[in-house]
Structure 1
Amino acid sequence: MTPPLGDIAHLGHVELLTPDLEGSVRFFTEYLGLTENGGSGDSVHLRTWDDYEHHSLTLTPHTTSGIRRTALRTSSEDALQRRVKEIEASGRPGRWAEDEPGIGKLYVTSDPDGHEIALYWESEWYQAPPELKPGLKNQPQAKPGHGVGVRRLDHVNFLAASVEPNGDFIRKQLGARPTEQIRLDDGRIAAQWLTFSNKSYDVVYTEDWSGSQGRLHHIAFATDTREDVLRAADLALDTGVFIETGPHKHAIQQTFFLYVYEPGGNRVELCNPLTRLVLAPDWPLITWTEDERKKGQAWGLKTIESFHTHGTPPIEG
């Protein structure tokens, strides 16, 4: 792939805010099977077993829930500088920072909706301690023997007051391509899925019913198999984790899913999209109509009302 497609290598990590740090840490370590890997101030860094970097997720205590930062790793130092130049030429503000362990300098900016986006190249490869050494040398860490054992951070779904300006930013300034979208009868784009690589999507924007800016719909972690998603549902039932909807299969992107809430209130998806790649360089943008979406998910499950109304931080009233 030639620039700009290919300048962003992948979704690196996210920072979630939580009013219940202890409960959130317990959810991500005991239920999902992530590993703690140090902290910064009051924040806790965690990682999935198949991530090669220092952390996949940062949990930061706060008075409310939501997402603070989404970090994207570039494919080279030159790619980082190209994207920064493109962002600055568009008039968007940005700054350089070095405020995360295992990560070099980050260029911190935001999308039109106000979600913080950080780009970086320099990254410290994870070295597992003896108790977490994998049996295979091409695996960064041993698989956890507890919880769901999610493989990696898969995607972020942002809520936005308006989808199109944000999709345009991700496409024009960061070099993504849209793969699927929903167009309402009045012409508005209600949701758009975009990818930086041959994954079917890395970032999603969904219209926020409240008109608010900077909120989160969900973050998602990929599992090895569909059976892991089913096991996650059983584990949620056994451990008191709230299941919002699923397991089932999405019509859009065909992802097998389960949606749960972590104790801080943020929605988390367990998904199995690993078999679906977009390999065609001329992949056509798939547009779904309002009538098509009313049919529900792939096998007929109707979209639950809270899927359209729950976001973080919560809206009063």
Structure 2
Amino acid sequence: MNTGLPDEPVYDIAQLGHTELLSPVYEESLRFFVDIYGLDLVAEEGGSAYLRGWGDTELTTLKLTPSEQAGLGHVGWRAVSPQALDRRVAALREGGLEGEWIDGDVGHGKAYRFRPPSGQLMEVYYESEKYRATGDKKPYLPNQPQAEIHRGVGAQRIDHLNILAQDVRGTREILARTLGFKLREYLVPPGKGEVGAWLSLMNKAHDLAITREEAPVSGRLHHVAYAVENREDVLRAADTFIQLGQPIEFGPAKHSRTQGFFLYVLEPGGNRIEVFSGGIHIYAPDWEAVRWTTEAGGRSTAWGLDVPPTFHGHATPVLS
């Protein structure tokens, strides 16, 4: 099977480090992420807010910035070492993804910024500030970064994001060659080209999903996801959202691909946000990417819950 992946796996990029979301209603979005989603506000600098989940080891994993339109400001991928960062920047340039260095931002050092064929702004970096809990946030277990948050949903840690691309295969192939993403699952409906791909850096079900952009635009975001510990936390999140007046778009249910348990909402700015738990973990070094032609058994999700029209029709920025 020709999947466009490099012959030798590359493990120079360790994790999804952070995302930046843009919101036309900054204060409302900030209240959502703190009071309903349950993130901690680390700092407000330069007009942006920097937040984190209680299980994130990094100082900040979400940057929220006011903007005329909702969408993805940028996404940051963290390298495993300074040498790995240099290797990946060289690979990006060799692959035709020329970019530029920035000095850094709250929580991380210098970063190389570029755009893949799908148009989203991405960066790779290594230097990062770890979160150090003090006071009542200090955990009783030293291998936890912070005491558990019971505010709102209590989102634990950043998990993945889903971006849109007109050329799904081309985008995931160049990210595989330059950054080392591994293809785990992909969707090719009968008579159509590739419309979805799920990729990870290490052994997760996915750090990045890429789905087909049907409009003649680029750079749009489908969703950003934070993980919670288990399915019960996703179910509790559903009750929490409703209790706090936050409409649910989709779920709770189980994905066919990734097998993760999920729940989606639209935050006040319009960006889709997921609460995610579980998902397959991949330990075999010779994992064969799973090709899907339809949803499992003709069902829209693993257990048959239909997908609402907004899930395929809504992305940010919203098209006029």
- Alignment equivalent of 2:61, drawn from 33, 56, 62: 56
In structure 2, the CA distance between the partners of 1:258 and 1:131, relative to structure 1 (3 Å rule), is: same
Which residue number in structure 2 is paired with residue 214 of structure 1? 219
2:4 is aligned to none
In the TM superposition, what are the counterparts of 1:300-311 in structure 2 within 5 Å? 300-311=304-315
TM-superposed deviation, 1:39: 2.1
Q: How does 1:59-138 map to 2 (within 5 A)?
A: 59-138=64-143
The answer to which of 124-133 and 36-45 deviates more is: 124-133
Larger mean CA deviation between 40-49 and 287-296 belongs to 287-296
Residues in 2 aligned to 1:247 and 1:91: alpha-carbon distance in whole angstroms: 41
The secondary structure found in structure 2 opposite 1:24 is helix
SS at match of 1:28: helix
In structure 2, C-alpha distance between the alignment counterparts of 1:279 and 1:10, rounded to whole Å: 16
Residue matched to 1:182: 187
CA change 1:291–1:193 in 2 (3 A) is: closer
User: What residue is the counterpart of 2:50 in the other structure?
Assistant: 45
Cα distance, 1:78 vs structure 2: 0.9
Q: Does the aligned pair in 1 maintain the 2:15–2:77 contact within 8 Å?
A: yes
Q: Is the 8 A contact 1:209 1:309 kept in 2?
A: no
The residue aligned with 2:260 is: 255
C-alpha distance after superposition, 1:145-182 (max 9, x if no partner): 21111111100100112211110121111011100010
Partner of 1:197: 202
Identity of aligned residues (%): 41
Given that 2:164 and 2:222 are in contact with CA atoms closer than 8 Å, whether structure 1 keeps it comes out as: yes
> Matches of 2:247 and 2:168 in 1, distance apart?
28
Per-residue Cα deviation, 1:209-243 (whole angstroms, up to 9, x for no partner): 22321000000010011011001111111111121
Partner SS for 2:249:
strand
Is 1:286 equivalent to 2:294 in the alignment? Answer: no
- Report whether the alignment pairs 1:298 with 2:299: no
1:26 counterpart = 2:22: no
Identify if the C-alpha distance between structure 1 residues 56 and 3 changes in structure 2 by more than 3 Å, giving closer, same or farther: farther
In 2, the alpha carbon distance for the partners of 1:231 and 1:11 equals: 26
- Cα pair 2:296 2:302 within 8 Å, conserved: no
Distance 2:278 2:115 in 1: 27
User: What are the within-5 Å matches in structure 2 for residues 258-277 of structure 1?
Assistant: 258-273=263-278, 276-277=280-281
| Equivalent-residue separation in structure 2 for 1:144 and 1:242 (angstroms) | 22
Q: Residue in 2 aligned with 1:151? A: 156
Superposition RMSD on alpha carbons, in Å? 1.5
Residues 45 and 57 in structure 1, CA contact (< 8 A), matched pair in contact too: yes
Say whether 1:232 aligns with 2:233: no
Cα distance change of structure 1 residues 307 and 293 upon mapping to structure 2, 3 Å threshold: farther
How many angstroms does 1:31 deviate by?
1.1
CA distance in 2: counterparts of 1:139 and 1:211, whole angstroms = 45
- State the SS of the aligned residue for 2:179: coil
Shift of 1:5: 2.2
CA deviation after TM superposition for structure 1 residue 184, in Å: 2.1
Contact (CA 8 Å) 1:209, 1:308: kept in 2 or not?
no
Pairwise CA distance, 1:99: 3.4
- The number of residues matched between the two structures is 314
Q: CA offset at residue 292 of structure 1?
A: 4.8
Distance 1:145 1:291, change over 3 A: closer
**Deviation (angstroms), 1:38:** 0.6
Separation in 2, partners of 1:106, 1:60: 19
Report how far residue 34 of structure 1 moved: 0.7
Counterpart CA distance in 2 for 1:290 and 1:234 is: 31
TM (norm. structure 2) is 0.95
